[in-house]
Structure 1
Amino acid sequence: MTARKPSDKDLAFTRRMRLVGAMIAGTTLLWIIFGEVGRQYNWDGRYALLIDLAAIAAYVWALTNAWMLWRKRRET
């Protein structure tokens, strides 16, 4: 039995989904780290808000890209 060779389209899809997964994991990790550092150094609340907004923006980007990839995958 021979395995089928993935097409360029499949490889691009996989690469993009890995990027989305890495973005979610990295955002979560940085959000936790910066939140803890901010608490330890008593950063102003404005910085916490800025960190939260940046994390939300990254999650929205990842969710949008995952949704677009899911729809594209269903079309084929």
Structure 2
Amino acid sequence: MSGPDQKALQRQARMVAVVIAVTMILWLGLGWLGGRMGLDPSYAFLVDLAAIAAFLWALVVTWRIKRAMARG
């Protein structure tokens, strides 16, 4: 794999790591905050769906990175 391709994959991997970390922090924080504020449980479902979407995106991008590295 050439240098620019390798660097592009590294950037994507870093982005996936940041998305996973930020999603987890926001998911836990918003769940805690919603419970403390007594918000309607439907808001918790919205936060859960957003977190699931972010995790699915991270999974797909990680899978694409793995395939690109396997092709060499």
| TM-score (normalizing by structure 1) | 0.90
User: What one-letter code is carried by the residue in structure 1 that aligns with 2:53?
Assistant: A
Residue 65 (structure 1) aligns with: 61
Q: In structure 1, what residue type is equivalent to 2:3?
A: S
Normalized per residue, the structure richer in helix is 2
Segments of structure 1 that go 5 or more residues without pairing to the other structure are 1-5
2:39 aligned with 1:36? no
> 1:66: Cα distance to partner?
0.2
Question: For the residues of structure 1 that align with 2:64 and 2:39, how far apart are their CA atoms?
Answer: 37
Percent identical among aligned pairs is 38
User: 1:35 Cα deviation (Å)?
Assistant: 0.3
Quote the Cα distance in structure 2 between the aligned partners of 1:42 and 1:66. Answer: 36
**Which sits farther off after the overlay, 34-43 or 6-15?**
6-15
- Higher RCO, 1 or 2 (CA under 8 Å, sep at least 6)? 2
Larger Rg: 1
State how far apart, in whole Å, the 2-side matches of 1:46 and 1:33 are: 16
* Matched pairs, number: 71
C-alpha distance in 1, partners of 2:40/2:59? 29
